[in-house]
Amino acid sequence: MYSNLSDFLNVLNKTGEVKFIRKKISPCIGISKITDAESKSPDGGKALFFENVEDSDFPVVTNMFGSSRRICLALGVENLDQLADRLRKFTEFSPPGNLKQAFNALSLALNISRFFPRRFRGKIPPCQEVIYQGDDIDLSRLPVLTCWPKDAGPFITLPMVITRSLKTGRQNMGMYRMQIFDRNTTGMHWHIHKDGSHYYREYCNAQQRMPVSVAIGADPATIYAATAPMPRGIDEILLSGFIRNKPVVMTRCITNDLTVPAKAEFILEGYVEPGELRTEGPFGDHTGYYSLADKYPVFHLTAISHRKHPIYNATLVGRPPMEDCYLAKATERLFLPMLQTVMPEIRDYWFPWEGVFHNVVVVSLDKEYAGHAHKLISGLWGQGQMSFCKAIVVIDHDMAPSDKKTLIQSLITQLDTASDISISRGILDVLDHSSPYPNFGNKIGIDLTKRCNGEPPRSLLTKIILPFPDENRLTSVMGKMPGVTRYKILFHKFYKNTRPENRFLALNAEKTFQRSGHDIAQHVLKSKRLELFNIIILYDKDIDLEDHSLLLWKLFNNVDPGRDIIKEGNRVVIDACKKGPMDHHEREWPEDLTFDV
């Protein structure tokens, strides 16, 4: 495995996975535009190495993990399920029952010990070959990207933020964006549910200054590990050692007592004062929207160190697909065995990219009894990072969660909107903007499993077997409906080969201060000509109804299930439009990311 960032880039170069950009490019929007276009090219494009960056002596690499091939190369596997298979050996461990099993258990324990970090034994660790302290500290030397036009400034987007619990003494490594405020301070954007924030509260309660160090650029397993949602108290450096099959070499910082990856490209050392907050953001986030400005802790630098010839590693996030989608896919596969130790009835799961990882998951279930799907949904909402998931869809064990065609057929032929949908309330991801309340709101569970003994049968829709209305007449109906501008019959080709219990229709809707989503929904539900469509989705007037990925992204991100699903019998209208005061949504609604200003 790779010992540093350059090792990995050399392999990517040899395998034709890097594009070298020799023209001088600005880190303010310029690098982002090129990276965005490359990320959205077929199969994720190539990694980008910007050799000549304006106002900086350091090159920049982006999109390093941004394809299925590169994420597998980064983690040293042919496919991501190989990592899960390795992890499963540990999660399925049980006490030995005989001498042979005892030797196997000893071997397993010895293997685990190989993953623990080791101390750097040389004279000068690579990450401290060049050191700046005091008045020499100047973050403007780093080619930090301003990613999107309305960002509040330049942001460090791949920082490995290292903290230590005041209570347990255990280190943690997480990835939290950092806005550059000036030459020696940044924001520290750790969300309230993250380990860094939890440790920060320990220091606030004790009224003690919190030491923090940040690594930028390292071997790919260590970078990935910083993004992984490990259980509290488990150091992500251990996960990196597991992936690498060898320990990460660590070294002590210069101005605090934290340890950092010795072979990193850059190290930022400093502290966070308890209770000191500053406005941070907005920032173009992985949801495809600007996350809004808010108060966050301030990181004060006491030292910057780096290699003699460092490479600055950054990522660009936005509407999927982007580089972070492939990092998230690695997490999806790696953490399946951990989830199965708690819920062994889970066969597999899938997070669609359009759900930006925390908005929707499809889970296949080995169903054993009545209500099993609903038990699973409730259980998942109580499990770690899964608790942030807004929508959970449960399917039978013989269906592949990522098989979109089969999933659509199940929605068309099997979903009973009266009995298969359940609404709950609970914690939401900080970046969810659809709820009227930050960090808390409505969730939806959908049971698409076959009925078993003890469960009521699904109701059938008799009108749905009637033929579609003439296209011209349907267009005429839309022209007379207030607020509706265009329509699109969804999944039309699937209706030809199946008996549809559900028919889906997408509408472009135009809201006003006097016309809410609920008002438009009521007009739609009253229309006799639209009775053949029992699941109707409203989109803003400028949304391209031919772009299926865009439709899913808006549906998963813009809907609060308790407020925006309007039901009448077996018919449903879903408002996937922007929300405002007319919809009883008083929170600021974020803007879509675009390079057009």
Domain ranges across the chain: 5-313, 323-447, 464-583
Fold designation for 323-447: UbiD C-terminal domain-like (3.40.1670)
**What confidence tier does 68 reach under pLDDT thresholds 50, 70, 90?**
very high
Pick one of 3.40.50.2300, 1.10.3210.10, 3.40.1670.10, 3.30.70.270 as the CATH number of 464-583: 3.40.1670.10
What is the predicted pLDDT for the residue at 468?
63
- Cα 378 to chain centroid, rounded: 21
What percent of the chain has pLDDT above 70?
93
pLDDT at 369 over 70: yes
What percent of the chain has pLDDT above 90?
76
What would you report as the CA-atom Rg of the chain, rounded to the nearest whole angstrom? 26
What's the rounded Cα separation, in Å, for the pair 584 and 587? 9
What is the predicted pLDDT for the residue at 341?
87
Establish whether domains 323-447 and 464-583 are of one fold.
yes
Longest dimension (CA), the chain: 81
Fold designation for 5-313: Pnp Oxidase; Chain A (2.30.110)
pLDDT at 151 over 60: yes
pLDDT at 69 over 50: yes
Phi, psi of 499 (to 5 degrees): -90, 105
Strands annotated E in 125-222: 130-133, 155-156, 159-164, 171-174, 178-182, 185-187, 210-216
CB 232 within 8 A of CB 263: no
pLDDT at 577 over 60: yes
What is the predicted pLDDT for the residue at 106?
47
What's the rounded Cα separation, in Å, for the pair 104 and 99? 9
- Rounded average pLDDT over 526-531: 82
Least confident of 209-213, 338-342, 432-436, 463-467: 463-467
Dump pLDDT digits (tens) for 376-419: 999 999 988 899 999 999 999 999 999 999 999 999 988 999 89
CB 505 within 8 A of CB 536: yes
CB 228 within 8 A of CB 331: yes
pLDDT at 204 over 70: yes
Dump pLDDT digits (tens) for 6-50: 999 999 999 999 999 999 999 999 999 999 999 999 999 999 999
Collapse the DSSP code of 63 into the 3-class scheme (helix H, G, I; strand E, B; otherwise coil) and give the result: coil
Least confident of 124-133, 183-192, 310-319: 183-192
Question: Any idea which residues carry the catalytic annotation?
Answer: 285
Q: What is the DSSP letter of 369?
A: S
b/e map 41-60, b = 16+ CB within 10 Å: eeebbbbbbbeebeebebbb
What's the rounded Cα separation, in Å, for the pair 534 and 505? 8
Collapse the DSSP code of 218 into the 3-class scheme (helix H, G, I; strand E, B; otherwise coil) and give the result: coil
pTM for this model (two decimals)? 0.93
pLDDT at 104 over 80: no
Other CB atoms within a 10 A radius of the CB of residue 493 amount to 7
- Report the half-sphere exposure of 112 (CA within 13 A, side-chain side): 11
- Residues ≥6 apart with Cβ < 8 Å to 528: none
